[in-house]
Chains A and B, each alone.
Chain A
Amino acid sequence: MTRVGVVLFPGSNCEHDVVEAVRALGGEADLLWHGATDVGPVDAVVLPGGFAHGDYLRPGAIARFSPIMAAIERFAADGGAVIGICNGFQILTEARLLPGALQKNRGLTFLCMPVELEVCSTRSVLTWEVAPGQRLRIPINHFEGNYTCDAETLSMLKAEDRVVLRYVDNPNGSVDRIAGICNAEGNVVGLMPHPERASDVLLGSADGATLLRSLLGTAVRPSALAGTDVLAVGAEVAATALA
């Protein structure tokens, strides 16, 4: 069973939603305190949404120096799956595990609503199981979700097929409608929408479960994805599951 560690920073507020969603999908999930110096025996790490350290200075600016972040950097470098949702995405960019930055929404409006997303890359741990071009309806809930990066970084993200999700109607002004990106290896993913809040039809949509199921299926350690074709790993996992 895939074991997911969900990091609890002071000010996180979506950690239990992620734990519940993972458990409902048949995975194991436990909270990891931000002050811990290792991630323990987990297959994947999720940095949940919220306001880690009060979002003081900038969202993620202080959280990136929490003791557990050094362990997460090592875990990611070894090929471990690391997902940053909303505030978690902001933390991953501040930690330079993902390029670019999240600035205030265009129009200075806090946005809390379901949005339509398009799956643009299936080479990430969050999307390998999803059909390219598939539309997903998942809520956003943020003030600083307007993704930005310089032109060079944007070209690189596109050339390397690292734009994982795009908004259909770009509610926050993100460059190139970007809602989520991954690192070069595809094992570190950041996204502003909250898949855990769309993990059951009772919540209005189960589209987020599609992404979390990919994560649970892909997170096979050690070094599952480093230098490996994600689709091949996914196929292998599927074959094992069917066997």
Chain B
Amino acid sequence: MLVEVSLRPGIADPQGATIERSLPALGFERVSGVRTGKAIRFSIDADDEAGARGEVDELCRRFLTNPVIEDARVTLAAADQAVRR
């Protein structure tokens, strides 16, 4: 599982803005729209993809994000069967 937590559109991202402002000085003139966030990786034991997705969505809503200011994007990939036992 990969959960990417980012600030919702319209919520100021001072870290992203600061990074973007510093780029021209390094010669990166054409970079724009810098937004920062955090990535949270973990494994989940579920019977199927829908079950896993449902559980992660609930986890995001209750804990991993603050829905007032943050959005989550969930990327899901099947783990190695050997790892899953």
Contacts and interface: CB of A to CB of B under 8 A. Distances in A.
A103 B69 contact: yes
Interface in B1-29: 7, 11-12, 14-15, 18
Nearest to A146: B12
A89 B59 CA distance: 23
Nearest to B62: A65
A142 to B, nearest CB: 14
B39 to A, nearest CB: 13
A20 B20 CA distance: 45
A99 B67 CA distance: 11
Looking at chain B's contact residues, is the secondary structure mostly helix, strand, loop, or mixed? mixed
A148 interface: yes
A108 B7 CA distance: 15
B64 interface: yes
A100 B68 contact: yes
A58 interface: yes
B34 to A, nearest CB: 14
A108 B18 contact: yes
Given A58-B66, A61-B63, A101-B69, A148 B14 contact: no
Given A106-B12, A148-B68, A150-B68, 20 more contacts: A57-B64, A58-B66, A61-B63, A61-B66, A93-B68, A99-B68, A100-B68, A101-B66, A101-B68, A101-B69, A103-B7, A103-B11, A105-B14, A107-B14, A108-B15, A108-B18, A148-B11, A148-B69, A149-B68, A173-B12
Interface of B: 7, 11-12, 14-15, 18, 63-64, 66, 68-69
In the A-B complex, the 3 residue pairs with the closest CB atoms:
A101-B68, A108-B14, A101-B69
